[in-house]
Amino acid sequence: MTTPPRIPRHLAVIMDGNGRWAARRRRPRVIGHRAGARAVNLCIDFCLARGVEVLTLFAFSSENWGRPPDEVGALMRLFVNALEREIDELQRRGVCVRFVGERTRFGAAIAGRMDAAERATATNARLTLVVAASYGGRQDIASAARALAEDVAVGRLRPEDIDEAALGARMALSDLPPPDLFIRTGGELRISNFLLWQLAYTELWFTERLWPDLDDATLQEALDAFAARERRYGLTGEQLPVGGAPATGAIPVAAAATDIIGR
Ligand code: IPE
Ligand code: IPE
Ligand code: MG
């Protein structure tokens, strides 16, 4: 009997390379962003077909606000269009959408649409799609630290109770399994201030392929690479159960080592 392939429960993706995709065609960068929107749907369908539970997409970083105003404006228009157009499709496919990042920076109109999309899809359970928009990993850690400080200030928490779990519970995505697999398209070998805390034990996979050129074969290549990895969480290979540590994020990072060896 063959064992079923190990599928990541949570896939986190940096969708990079839109600008270069357009430049290679001598087109403005916004054309690349438009083409990138199609790849988002392909990625969602792939996750639905493979049974991935959570897909987190890095759509716009806190640093991306510093791009030329016309590019930021074009990205905002694309974002609004996608919010209007795609909600029914997400509903049909059973996708629950959530946003992480500094929502208020988008202004009331876009933030209101984000709230509405979350409300409309809240009970869908086939796939949770997390869109990281105006998100920065450092800012995520800083706001969790601020939340801890506020709890201490009002007497809800003692400083000696601050530990990894207390900080982790105040970070984005704390109610979801941590990412099992990280994919970055576009060839850059960096994290670019994505989920700094949450990626502690995530398997990393990079491809030269530009985001608008994404296809099923590339995503399958990433899943195959993931299935072949041995996740040791700091232990030795000999300490792992036969067949290796679970491929999924079932084991929270902080508890990983003790859970695997069963004490
Ligand atoms: C990723 O593609 C999309 C966003 C950051 C919004 P880029 O726009 O960064 O494309 P490249 O990296 O310049 O090719
Ligand atoms: C990361 O890509 C952010 C998103 C894909 C949303 P960037 O293109 O902004 O990252 P750098 O500048 O190459 O590090
Ligand atoms: Mg880029």
| Cα separation values, 226 from 6, 151, 182, 257, Å | 8, 39, 10, 19
- Domain spanning 10-229: CATH superfamily: Decaprenyl diphosphate synthase-like (3.40.1180.10)
Greater confidence (1 vs 100) lies with 100
Name the residue type at position 189. L
61 Cα nearest atom in ligand 1: 5
Which tokens belong to 223?
A: 């899943």
64 Cα nearest atom in ligand 2: 9
pTM: 0.93
Ordered by start, the domain boundaries in the chain are 10-229
Give distance in angstroms: CA of 205 to centre of ligand 1: 18
Nearest bound ligand to CA 22? 1
What residues have CB less than 8 Å from 158, skipping those under 6 apart? 152
Which tokens belong to 98?
A: 């959530």
Per-residue pLDDT of 95-107, as tens digits, reads: 999 999 999 999 9
Tell me the DSSP string of 12-65: EEE---HHHHHHHTT--HHHHHHHHHHHHHHHHHHHHHHT--EEEEEEEETTGG
Per-residue pLDDT of 46-93, as tens digits, reads: 999 999 999 999 999 999 999 999 999 999 999 999 999 999 999 999
